[in-house]
Structure 1
Amino acid sequence: MVSRYDKFVAYLIILQRAFSQGSACPPGWKNWNQSCYAIYFNRVSWMDASEFCESRGSHLVMPNSQPENDFIWRMMTERLKSLSGAGVWIGCKRKSADSSFVCAGNEGMSYTNWAPGNPKNKETPVCALYGVDGEGKWKSVGCTPRIGRNVVCEMPTAPRMYCMTADENGRLVNDLP
């Protein structure tokens, strides 16, 4: 025989699963496919951009697929009609000409969208960025350029939390107006 308590617990699990499909981003961030993105027009070096994102509990953007890359490019161009020649940093860096790019979380690149002729081997270290002239194509440039670049930060979405009250019989109480 199933007790009232067991039914109550099962009901709460069902509610949790039904409501946990949604996820939330901080105010001002855009939600896409279980990640949150925010663009900042702070022209800074790659290292400063990386530290800026980390100070917000996130990391420099790192597209992992063509649809994600397209979303980020659209978000950037919607927010700034012209990227003003600066481009936007991507969270990948190569320390030397004979090393591989390492991305946020010390991962290799699972997806790339390099513009023709990129990545270049001239400078080290080399960092990745969205170029201003390539419909979401990436370029490699020195990590401390004379012109700073813009920043897009990325973080995973947070699950939405719902609180419910139960009466002494274990029934949910709707105490909202």
Structure 2
Amino acid sequence: MAALRDILFAFLFALGGFSILSALCPPGWKNWHQSCYAMYLERMSWADASEFCESKQSHLVVPNSQAENDFLWRMVVERFQTVQNRGFWIGCKRETVTSSFVCAGKTEGLGYINWEQGFPKQKALQCTVLTRDGNGTWRTADCMPNKERFVACEVPSSGMHCMTAGANGRFVNDLP
């Protein structure tokens, strides 16, 4: 029976381009506690970044603790060593001056916060940025389409993720 299984497995690899399921993070993503994270060197508006993460079956990152925020900041420092970085979008925004910030995947406000001194600014339609130069503190930024930052996506690691194998039998990595 084991020989038949091995033959079937070899046959599937010979076909190439098939998908399997894995309980781990998608290829190229980093696992931390119960989530997987990916940072992309593309600059996008907050709305485009949110859509981009959704296309990866994830959402913009939302730090829920100082430990998670520190992990993300270390990823930024590591990933963007040679790139001028103005931070990356966090999945939280405010629609009006009097409204609260709303975060991806949450029904209530922020919970954990790490605002840089002087933030959040009291303006309408503000999105949130985790900054490299502020040691991982948060700032507000205009959500306008011409305001672009890097993208960081998050997905729970407890779920199953589809991983595609190329013709050579190696898993395809969607990160640069």
Is the deviation greater in 47-56 or in 75-84? 75-84
Change (3 A) 1:69 1:82: farther
Asked if residue 56 in structure 1 is aligned to residue 56 in structure 2, the reply is yes
- Who is 2:10 aligned against? none
Q: 2:32 corresponds to which residue?
A: 32
In 2: Cα distance, 1:83 partner to 1:100 partner: 33
Unaligned ranges ≥5, structure 2: 1-22, 161-176
Q: Is the 8 A contact 1:40 1:152 kept in 2?
A: yes
Q: Percent sequence identity over matched residues?
A: 55
C-alpha separation between the residues in 2 aligned to 1:90 and 1:82?
22
Q: Distance between the aligned counterparts of 1:128 and 1:82, measured in 2?
A: 23
**Aligned partners of 2:87, 2:63: CA distance in 1, in Å?**
15
In structure 2, distance between residues paired with 1:26 and 1:146: 30
Following TM superposition, where does structure 1 have runs of at least 4 consecutive aligned residues deviating by more than 4 angstroms?
none
Deviations 1:67-116, CA, capped at 9 Å, x for gaps: 00000000111011155142100000000000000000243211000000
Q: Which residue of 1 aligns with 2:119?
A: 118
- The AA in structure 2 aligned to 1:110 is G
Structure with higher Rg: it is 1
The CA RMSD over aligned residues, in Å, is 2.0
TM-score with structure 1 setting the length: 0.73
- Distance change in 2, residues 1:101/1:148 (3 Å): same
**Secondary structure, counterpart of 1:158 in structure 2:** coil
| Equivalent-residue separation in structure 1 for 2:131 and 2:32 (angstroms) | 22
The 1:100/1:27 distance shift into structure 2, 3 A limit, reads same
Say whether 1:133 aligns with 2:133: yes
Equivalent position SS for 1:54: helix
2:77 corresponds in structure 1 to: 77
CA distance in 1 between partners of 2:83 and 2:111 (Å): 26
Q: How many residue pairs get matched?
A: 139
- How far did residue 146 of structure 1 move? 3.5
Deviates more, 1:82-91 or 1:102-111: 82-91
CA distance in 2, matches of 1:110, 1:48: 25
Equivalences for residues 104-115 of structure 1 within 5 A: 104-107=104-107, 108-115=109-116
Give, in whole Å, the separation in 2 of the partners of 1:31 and 1:105: 19
